[in-house]
Chain A
Amino acid sequence: MGVARFWRDHRIRYQLIGNACPICGNRYFPPRELCPDCHRESIGKMQEMQFSGKGALYSYTVVHETPDDFSDQRPYVMGIVELEEGPRITAQIVELEGEPVIGMPVEMVFRKIREESAEGVIQYGYKFRPAGVKR
């Protein structure tokens, strides 16, 4: 995939920037142009917000058959995390000791996602790790 396509979303991926609808209060990650519930009422009024990066594990899987760009990380854990502000996101779960548990508290960390094979550009973004663990 092209570099510009991912560069556009750098801030969102690096800092967990989403937005909120001032009419119904719903929060979105990634940010949306309009609120799907409030439609045109919300256009131009969506308010940017930074998510805390804290949440709970909603589901997970250990990925053994990986895309080529991820083969050096095999096997890795993918999860869907429910952020404390409401939205869910898909991310890798790292720094685990043993099998993860659905419902466990997790927190965002900033990590290398993959080496882009074609352009050789390294992609960064969020992963999650168990929260409240002494390191």
Chain B
Amino acid sequence: MVLVVNETFDDSSHEDAGHPERPDRLVAARTAIDDLHLDEDLVVVPAHSATREELVRVHIGNYLDELSAYCYSGGGDIDQDTYATLNSFTIAKYAAGSGLAVIDELQRRNDGVGFVAARPPGHHALADRAMGFCLLNNVAVAAAALRSQGERVLIVDWDVHHGNGTQQIFWDVPEVLYVSTHQWPLFPGTGSVNEVGGRHATDRTVNIPLPPGATGDIVRRGIDEMAGPVIDAFDPTWVLVSAGFDAHREDPMADLRLTSGDFALMARGVSDYAPQPGRLVMFLEGGYDLDALRSSIHASLSAALGQTYDGESPSNGGPGTEQIERMRQARRSTIELLHTSDDEESTR
């Protein structure tokens, strides 16, 4: 099976001294890809800068204008976490567009696995606001493009933080199913199990909040037991992954205890949700310890390509087991309640 990745674009000028979301992260990602020694099975597609038409499917035009003006006037801090520089808008458009180029190539081949090595990350970016290191929502731009082609898109977000931007953008969109595992409580404060989607898309958001210290076995059980039946019923035609690697135990940004072996198992798991080869794309989100990032990307791609991964063993034994059944019930009652109030409304 081939690995389709985007060509690198020069992201070196999107940086802020001492900021953890830094250009070296992409160097680690490229090393991870090189370590796979794929030779002719590695397909590099030209990076693509997202057009306005592609971006306005998820972002409001005013926000794009403001962000562009802000960057071209020199940039600066957008909030306590998020920065922009002179070139950030240009770089962010490449990050948002490269997923589309990878998807095009996969559609042409009907084979392979896609990986979008790009930054800044995207899953916190809202329709009208930058936050949490994110300017444009890369995975959302890709999902929206697929949706416009009539596809049903599953987004699995295993970054340690909740992807509030992605959830918001597809909150009431029945053609996109958003599944997130994340540490809770933690930034950005959203992602409770009771957030299940809007009126037209009840059940299309699945949140799996996990306690600090949770290990890979719990994360996988959460996905299998809470999201599995929903995914089966949804029957996706495409699978996109918001692949952040900050749930790794070495990552300084959070307190989950995953290993690269866990990411291998999760990548294998999401591949099984894709209906055929050439329908799975992973998008780099977080991951701030460079060694952990490299080994975790390597593990994920190996597994998605069907290779064996013999690095760090998967982790288990952390807290959260007893929580999963409780979360499943809480989710079910929330959905029942929403349906009941809908029924009452319609009989009124």
Q: Do A and B actually bind?
A: no
- Give me the interface of A with B, judged by CB distance under 8 Å: none
